[in-house]
Amino acid sequence: MTIARKDLALAIDNQDLRLHYQPIVCPRSSRVLGVEALVRWQHPSEGLVAPDHFIGVAEALDLIVPLGNWVLRQACVDARQWPDLRVAVNVSPLQIRQGDFSATVAAILAETGFDAHRLELEITEATALDNDATSHDAIASLRRIGIRFALDDFGTGYSGLMTLRRFPFDKIKIDRAFMDMSDGEGGDATVILDFIIRLGTALGLTVTAEGVEARDQQDRLVEAGCDELQGFLFAMPMSATDLGLFLAGARTIGTA
């Protein structure tokens, strides 16, 4: 689909965006530990549009800052309903490079009354490797007030180890591509997964595996010592209302 700037800008102004939440669970008990906020666009003719179709456009058209601020604010508002859960929000490099990013996040936390210690911001390797002083100062400032930072899609970048040495992350998220490998590549995938999990553990980082869709994947990750799992095996992304019902009826899901 072709996206015009005015249509996306109007969607942000009119709050035609929606947040869905996917649970992040304990590998052994499947207890829900937190959720990741995932934005959708309720398009008037296309229906519910996935972020892959418009986040890049928002970045190119200078709309990612208002869009990202809306996502963060709404996630903080929604997550007040789940006081024992963390909420993870993806942040674009363009947001962090804004000189007022840390002040904006702090203002949203104050406005919504959300606890900084329950907020986790997910950034890409490109952001971590960015030599922009403004970005690094903003991240350092936000970590000082208790916000956690996760390195998203770990294992796909060319310099992951360098990134971990240069930046004080709290978590690494193993890219779902490792879960999608075919049976023929399973041996290599297992070696890589084991290495990443051991590395994260040695560095004192939480390790989360994304894209878990099968019980044997869960079993392998449990055996390897992964800290958290996320994927369709446990739950699809869902609206805040549906998540509330889901949590009320199944605080522990799946089987260990």
In this prediction, residue 2 carries a pLDDT of: 76
The pLDDT of residue 167: 75
Instruction: Output DSSP code: residue 252.
Output: B
The predicted pLDDT at position 4 comes to 75
For 71-88, what is each residue's pLDDT tens digit?
999 999 999 999 999 999
Which helix (H) or strand (E) covers residue 171, if one does?
strand 171-174
Structure tokens at 254: 């799946």
> According to the model, what pLDDT value does residue 3 have?
77
Tens of pLDDT, residues 170-221: 999 998 888 866 344 556 777 888 888 999 999 999 999 999 999 999 998 9
Which pLDDT score, from 0 to 100, does residue 183 have?
42
> What was the pLDDT predicted at 256?
30
Q: What pLDDT was estimated at residue 230?
A: 96
- Which CATH number applies to 5-247? 3.20.20.450
Question: Mean pLDDT in each 10-residue stretch from start to end of the chain (256 residues)?
Answer: 82 92 94 96 88 90 94 97 96 91 97 98 77 82 96 70 76 85 57 88 94 92 95 95 87 40
What contacts 63, CB < 8 A, 6 or more positions away? 5, 8, 9, 12, 57
- How far is residue 16's CA from residue 137's CA, in Å, rounded to a whole number? 33
pLDDT at 253: 46
Cα R_g (the chain), whole angstroms = 18
* Domain spans, the chain: 5-247
